[in-house]
Amino acid sequence: MDKENIQEFIAKRVAQELHDGDVVNLGIGLPTLVANYVPHDKAVMFQSENGFVGLGPTPTEEQFDPYITNAGGKPVTIKKGGIFFDSATSFGIIRGGHVDLTVLGALQVDAKGNIANYMIPGKMVPGMGGAMDLISGAKKVIVAMEHTAKGSMKILKECSLPLTAANEVNLIVTEMGVIEVTEKGLVLVEINPEFSVEQVQDLTEPELIVSEDLKPMEVE
């Protein structure tokens, strides 16, 4: 799979985690793609941390409104049933557990469910934006990312970069498999049939617990 196919594959698999009625926040980058694969029988509302629920697709020229943008500042639309609100309410929704699911990328995740995705000291310090709030507040946190970064491992025994949040990640979805974060450690619950368990383990620092019920990772 090339990079584009990998991202599509991951996004499609994450989309299977959506339930009817869910309120979902998608981080920038790969997670954004998840919106393209919402199952047709499921009504999902996307939350945008800059202040609304009901995030819709890019506007046509006619629909364009300079004051309707996503958290990346890009023009979007608002769906029927959506609502605008201020930043305090937006993070009340996020922190109060009213977001069912957040999907984010990561620089590193570890066996304890820690996640680092907001800075590389001395190199890149963009700030955490709403990521810390989302990870601490959402009912379920999914990390969606490529399994490695140019060959180096991203799923570690312990994150070395500054944490965005401690012990909050629930699920890790990569092109190699689906990993649940449990109190006992990382459990490989699905595997991409293109890879063997050994291959996944070789690119994952902590020891994986292989689920007794290990399934193939399938997307349509």
Partner 1 sequence: MNKLISIEEAIDKIKDGDVLMIGGFLSVGAPLTLIDKLVEKGTKNLTLICNDSGFVDSGVGKLVVNKQFSKVIASHIGTNKETGRQMMAGETEVILTPQGTLAEQVRCACYGLGGFLTRTGVGTAVQEGKDVIEVDGVKYLLEKPLHADFALIFAQKADKYGNLVYHGAAQNFNSVMAGAATTTIVEVLEYSEEALNPDVAETPGVFVDYIVKRGA
The beta-carbon contacts of 61-69 under 8 Å, at least 24 apart in sequence, are: none
Contact residues: partner 1, CB under 8 A: 20-21, 23, 43, 45, 47-54, 65-69, 71-73, 78, 80-98, 114, 122, 124-133, 136-137, 162-167
Catalytic residue, candidates 49, 175, 180, 190: 49
Q: Which is nearer to partner 1, 78 or 200 (CB)?
A: 78
Count of alpha carbons within 13 Å of 62, Cβ hemisphere only? Answer: 0
Known catalytic residue: 61? no
Q: Which of 51, 54, 56, 50 is nearest to 36 (CA)?
A: 56
Q: Which is nearer to partner 1, 15 or 131 (CB)?
A: 131
- Backbone phi, then psi, for 191, in 5-degree steps? -135, 140
Q: State the nearest-atom distance from the C-beta of 82 to partner 1, in Å.
A: 5
Q: Can you name the residues that pair with 182 across neighbouring β-strands?
A: 185
DSSP alpha helix (H) spans, the chain: 3-15, 87-95, 131-137, 197-202
Q: Under DSSP, is residue 47 helix (H, G, I), strand (E, B) or coil?
A: strand
Q: Which is nearer to partner 1, 29 or 216 (CB)?
A: 29
Q: Which is nearer to partner 1, 121 or 193 (CB)?
A: 121
- The owner of tokens 């769906």 is 79
Q: Which is nearer to partner 1, 50 or 148 (CB)?
A: 50
Q: State the nearest-atom distance from the C-beta of 47 to partner 1, in Å.
A: 8
Q: State the nearest-atom distance from the C-beta of 89 to partner 1, in Å.
A: 7
Q: State the nearest-atom distance from the C-beta of 163 to partner 1, in Å.
A: 5
User: Could you give the CA distance from residue 9 to residue 1 in angstroms, rounded to a whole number?
Assistant: 9
Tokens of 157: 């025994």
Q: State the nearest-atom distance from the C-beta of 17 to partner 1, in Å.
A: 17
Which amino acid, one-letter code, is at 137? G
Q: Which residues of 144-157 are buried (b: 16+ CB within 10 A; e: fewer)?
A: bbbbeeeeeebbbe
Positions annotated as catalytic residues are 49
